[in-house]
Every structure is written in C-alpha cells, then in structure tokens.
Amino acid sequence: MNYEQIRFESADGIARITLDRPDRLNSFTDQMHEEVRDALSRVASDGSRVLLLTGNGRGFCAGQDLSDRAVAPGAAPVDLGRSIEKNYRPLILTLRNLPMPVVCGVNGVAAGAGASIALACDLVIATRSASFVQAFARIGLIPDAGGTYFLPRLVGTARAMGLAMLADKLTAEDAEHIGLIWKCVDDEAFAATIDALLAKLAVAPTRGLAAIKRVLHASSHNTLEAQLALECETQRELGQSDDYREGVEAFLAKRTPQFSGR
C-alpha cells in the first residue's frame, strides 16, 4: 500500500509510524486509519522489536478529523459507533496486543482520540511544549478509543473526571507529574531521547518485554491470586527462552548480553 497520510519506516528492529497531516494536527480520517492498519500489520511480521508512533509538525494527533463529519443541523445523525467499531477499537487493541514495546513520541498537542491513542501505548514520552486535551466533552462526547479505561487507571477517578469533564489543556509536565505519561523532555532533547530509547529497546529481550506488557495489563482486572498464577506461568515460559539463557550466561561471564528477542 502507498502511504499518503502517514510515513512508515522499518530498519534494524525499529519500526516508526509518523502521522502525517500536519495542517490538520494529524487528525484521523478513514484513509489514515487504513494506512495505520496496514503499517501495523507489517510491524507484526517484519521482525520489528519496538514500534514508535509519533506525529509530524506541531501536533501529535487531534483525534477524529471533525471536518469528515456531516453534522449540520437537520442532517441525518452520524453513527459514531460505526466509526469506533471499524477504526478506533481495532487500533487500540492492536497497539495493546503487539508483542513488543510501543513507544509514543508525543511531539505536540494530543487531543480527543489522539490523547487516548497515546495512552494506549506502553511508554509515552512528550516534548515539554506538548499537551493533552480530553476534547470530547467540548463536543458532547465521552472519551473514547479507550479513554474511559486508561484515564482512571493511570491517574485515578477524581483526576480522570476532572480531565474528562473540563476538557482543559494539561501540560506535558503536569501529565508526567500526575503519572499520565512516562516522561516529558525538553523539545531540543526529544529526538535524541527517542532514538536512544528505541535503540535500547531494539536489542532488549523482546519476548520478556512483551510478557511484562501482557502481565502488567492483566493486573488491572486480576485478583492477586490470579496474578500470582499468571506470573508463575509466564516465568515458567520465559525460563525456556534463549534470552533468559543468554542473560544469565552474560551476567556470570561479566559480558554484555546479545539478546535475540527469542
């Protein structure tokens, strides 16, 4: 597929998807969804060991492209459920289920479903000038694309309620302070920080990282007993991996491990 609204690169175990409609703050159209879907299916099978999702220009993503919607007074109502079912739900589930770390590089404002998509990723790094806006309430909607799931789990119900109902801009610094994201870094350091992180993750024990992702996410709905059982089962499985053997051998030999990701 030829991409017109995103850019996709994959090399040395690192895949990068860049949303590329800067004049519309990278808001999502049907076409962009299709292109991202296609790129994600390539990431799943091209040997990538880490994925970066980021945006081009001064925004990360402003959610759904609202100019795509015919919502003039008197017009037939739009079925937003259809758009969510077709586009946003599979996107969020794919990001969550990819067996590798997904890094979100929030290069600017993340609004509406754009904010939810960022929160669906595993490590969110934002520029200091970036911001997060739960813009949904401004147009009479609820946080979708997983927003109502991620927000209370990341920052608690009180903060989730305030962010969702007031729809105020949250600075990247405040997002880091309240635990909504992993880190915010100076704008000038953003590209280098992301590159270093991707390089580190691309040679890490990928199978182990995928398991960390799966098991940590499972903890949000498991009992302690079920979680302990899952840890036991997962550790048993990882104990059979090449990377575990290599990690232990390298530790004992006092050398740097060479993880294959298997």
Task: Say if residues 51 and 15 touch (Cβ distance below 8 Å).
Answer: yes
In the bound complex, what is the minimum distance in angstroms from residue 40's beta carbon to ligand T3D? Answer: 18
Q: What angle do CA 149, 152, 155 make, to 5 degrees?
A: 135
Burial 116-143 (b: 16+ CB within 10 A, else e): bbbbbbbbbbbbebbbbbbbbbeeebeb
Q: Which of 5, 48, 54, 83 binds ligand T3D (CB under 6 A)?
A: 83
60 binds ligand T3D (CB under 6 A): no
Residue 23 gets which letter from DSSP? Answer: G
Residue 157 tokens, joined: 């119900």
Distance CA 75, CA 164 (A): 27
- Total residues at interface with ligand T3D (CB under 6 A): 23
Select from 78-86, 121-129, 156-164, 211-219 the region that touches ligand T3D (CB under 6 A): 78-86
133 binds ligand T3D (CB under 6 A): yes
Q: Which of 122, 91, 124 is nearest to 206 (CA)?
A: 122
Q: Which of 24, 33, 49, 213 binds ligand T3D (CB under 6 A)?
A: 24
* Positions in 26-55 near ligand T3D (CB under 6 A): 27
Q: Which of 36, 62, 170, 181 binds ligand T3D (CB under 6 A)?
A: 62
Select from 131-139, 182-190, 207-215, 227-235 the region that touches ligand T3D (CB under 6 A): 131-139
Task: Say if residues 141 and 80 touch (Cβ distance below 8 Å).
Answer: yes
Site for ligand T3D, rule CB under 6 A:
24-25, 27, 62-67, 69, 80, 83-84, 109, 111-113, 133, 135-136, 139, 141, 144
